[in-house]
């Protein structure tokens, strides 16, 4: 029963476009009414009708410590009691920059912003300022936030709603963004052969999480590193989703690549609104006021967000020594295995991936490696599966073209309950 959510959604739709403040929350891909959150507790989310869900959405990735982790809550409360924003520097900001630099070797200087969108938008401006070049290369189905130049063949809600390009983006801006298929090394090389000396940067999700969870094929990221270096273009790893989630040093640590610029968001804010970009010192030196590339923010480096993020990172550093990322991946793999087993035994085409604290489930028989394949997945079946899981008390992403997320506080018991729910839901699909 979700009567209170039904009423809340009716009211919300009168005053907010689609009833939401971010499109994917409206359940357009799976139909039905979104549930409205009341509170979160560890791995669980409770709606305003009192239903409990094991949460694999986790606010779309930030909550690697689950909901309302006592240490994060305490850090935020203590920070708030001292003032919520100052507009002058705090030592917390330096601590945050030092923490990021210590964990991610390619990053030598950092600028904090307020969202992943701001981080990627600023990273593009920086790459263009550094190279003096015009073009940005992105991959079909990758989502890097909603800045004009990145809303071209984007993933996430743009893909879910079938809006490959958005009205309102000037064509001159869209034309400066070149797109090629994910995992296609030949396409990248061909594009560089043609336009290499006009390309400022390649921006890539080193594990794609906005067309479902799609892994880089062996050699893909290395090839991007090589071809960009060869043409003096920059490589931007968008680790807004993967940063501190697929491993302590992000996907770049896991796959052994060294980008020039990295963008962060989600986990780095510990559940508060934060983003960051950082990279090589000579590149970051262009950012104002050290250099001429302008970028600013009234609330950037906000003390509540820094306190939450620093606490999350500090706890991750400790937990990583105890095998946290391996445990997250084992949990993700258990969910993928249960999904694949349940589908295959019934002759339903299914596949999936798990890496660190991310996983993806596809109603698609083959290995999904790019946006075209991800889009071939059976959407009606996913919608039925999604609602079956929700009714069984498990909250997954409301589109199979989104990733699933795990937290450090999901225990074996929740994973077991989830795999049992998968089997039960398939028996009725």
Site for ligand PMP, rule CB under 6 A: 60, 115-117, 120, 143-145, 156, 205, 209-210, 238, 240-241, 265, 275
Dihedrals phi, psi of 324, to nearest 5 degrees: -55, -50
266 carries an active-site annotation: yes
Closer of 144 and 280 to ligand PMP (Cβ): 144
State the minimum distance, in angstroms, from the CB of residue 196 to ligand PMP.
25
Of the pair 123, 199, the CB lying nearest ligand PMP is at 123
The token pair at 150 is 């990145």
φ, ψ of residue 362 to 5 degrees: the values are -125, 135
Cis preceding linkage at 267, omega within 30: no
**Cβ nearer to ligand PMP, comparing 20 with 48:** 20
Whether 238 is catalytic? yes
User: Min. distance of Cβ 429 from ligand PMP in angstroms?
Assistant: 28
Of the chain, the end-to-end C-alpha distance in Å amounts to: 20
Joined tokens for residue 421? 């729910």
Catalytic residue among 238, 260, 277, 382: 238
* Angle formed at CA 115 by CA 138 and CA 238, multiple of 5 degrees: 30
Here the tokens at position 128 are 């263009």
Could you say which of 182, 266, 371, 382 is catalytic? 266
| Rounded distance between C-alpha atoms, residue 121 and residue 243, angstroms | 17
H/E stretch holding 278: strand 275-279
d(CA 392, CA 296): 45
Shortest spacing between CB 230 and ligand PMP, in angstroms? 25
Distance CA 75, CA 69 (A): 10
Q: Which residues contact 412 (CB under 8 A, 6 or more apart)?
A: none
Nearest approach in angstroms of CB 119 to ligand PMP is: 7
Q: Which is nearer to ligand PMP, 152 or 422 (CB)?
A: 152
Which residue's CB is nearer to ligand PMP, number 407 or number 419?
Answer: 407
Q: Exposed, middle or buried, 178 (CB in 10 Å: 0-12/13-18/19+)?
A: middle
Reduced to 3 states (helix: H, G, I; strand: E, B; else coil), residue 227 is helix
Q: Least distance from C-beta 129 to ligand PMP, angstroms?
A: 20
Position of minimal CB gap to ligand PMP? 116
- As measured in angstroms, the least distance from the Cβ of 272 to ligand PMP is 11
Alpha helices in 241-361 (DSSP H): 250-255, 281-284, 303-321, 324-344
Are 234 and 201 in contact by the 8 Å Cβ rule? The answer is yes
Distance CA 384, CA 371 (A): 22
Say how far apart CA 112 and CA 124 lie, in whole Å.
Answer: 15
**Would you call 300 helix, strand, or coil by DSSP?**
coil
Task: Considering the complex, state which of residue 402 and residue 414 has its C-beta at the smaller distance from ligand PMP.
Answer: 402
The catalytically annotated residue of 143, 182, 277, 382 is 143
Backbone angles phi, psi at 121, to 5 degrees: -60, -45
* Minimum distance from residue 358 beta carbon to ligand PMP (Å): 10
Q: How far is the CB of 321 from ligand PMP (least distance, A)?
A: 27
- One DSSP character per residue, 122-135 reads HHHHHHHHHH---E
Q: Which CB, 154 or 394, lies closer to ligand PMP?
A: 154
Q: Minimum Å distance from CB 123 to ligand PMP?
A: 10
What are the tokens at 71?
């240490």
For the chain, give the longest Cα–Cα distance.
61
Q: What tokens were used for 397?
A: 């992403």
Q: Using the minimum distance from each CB to ligand PMP, give the nearer residue, 240 or 394.
A: 240
Nearer to ligand PMP, 121 or 350 (CB): 121
**Which residues are tagged catalytic?**
143, 238, 266
């Amino acid at each position: 029963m979700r009567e209170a959510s039904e009423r809340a959604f009716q009211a919300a739709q009168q005053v907010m476009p689609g009833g939401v403040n971010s499109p994917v929350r409206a359940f357009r891909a799976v139909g039905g009414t979104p549930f409205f959150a009341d509170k979160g507790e560890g791995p669980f989310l409770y709606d305003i009708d009192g239903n409990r869900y094991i949460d694999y959405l986790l606010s779309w990735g930030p909550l690697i410590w689950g909901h309302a982790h006592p240490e994060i809550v305490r850090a935020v409360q203590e920070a708030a009691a001292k003032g919520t924003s100052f507009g002058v520097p705090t030592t917390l900001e330096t601590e945050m920059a030092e923490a990021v630099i210590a964990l991610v070797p390619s990053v030598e200087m950092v600028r904090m912003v307020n969202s992943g969108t701001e981080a990627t938008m600023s990273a593009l401006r920086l790459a263009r300022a550094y190279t003096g070049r015009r073009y940005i290369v992105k991959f079909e189905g990758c989502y890097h936030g909603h800045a004009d130049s990145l809303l071209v063949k984007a993933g996430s809600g743009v893909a879910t709603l079938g809006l490959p390009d958005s009205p309102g983006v000037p064509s001159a801006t869209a034309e400066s963004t070149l797109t090629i298929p994910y995992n296609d090394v030949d396409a990248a090389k061909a594009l560089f052969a043609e336009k290499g000396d006009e390309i400022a940067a390649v921006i890539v999700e080193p594990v794609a999480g906005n067309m479902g969870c799609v892994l880089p094929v062996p050699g893909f990221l290395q090839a991007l590193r090589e071809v960009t270096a060869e043409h003096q273009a920059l490589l931007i790893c968008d680790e807004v989703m993967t940063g501190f989630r697929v491993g302590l040093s992000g996907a770049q640590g896991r796959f052994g690549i060294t980008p020039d610029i990295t963008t962060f968001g989600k986990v780095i804010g510990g559940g508060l609104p934060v983003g960051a970009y950082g990279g090589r010192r000579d590149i970051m030196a262009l950012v104002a006021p050290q250099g001429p590339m302008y970028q600013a923010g009234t609330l950037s480096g906000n003390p509540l967000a820094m306190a939450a993020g620093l606490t999350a990172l500090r706890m991750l550093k400790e937990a990583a020594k105890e095998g946290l990322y391996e445990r997250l991946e084992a949990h993700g793999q258990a969910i993928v295995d249960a999904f694949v087993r349940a589908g295959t035994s019934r002759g339903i085409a299914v596949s999936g991936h798990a890496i660190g604290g991310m996983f993806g489930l596809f109603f698609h028989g083959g290995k999904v490696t790019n946006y075209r394949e991800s889009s071939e997945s059976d959407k009606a079946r996913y919608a039925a599966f999604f609602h079956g899981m929700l009714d069984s008390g498990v909250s997954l992403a409301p589109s199979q073209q989104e990733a699933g997320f795990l937290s450090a506080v999901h225990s074996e018991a929740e994973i077991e309950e989830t795999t049992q729910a998968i089997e039960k839901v398939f028996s009725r699909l």
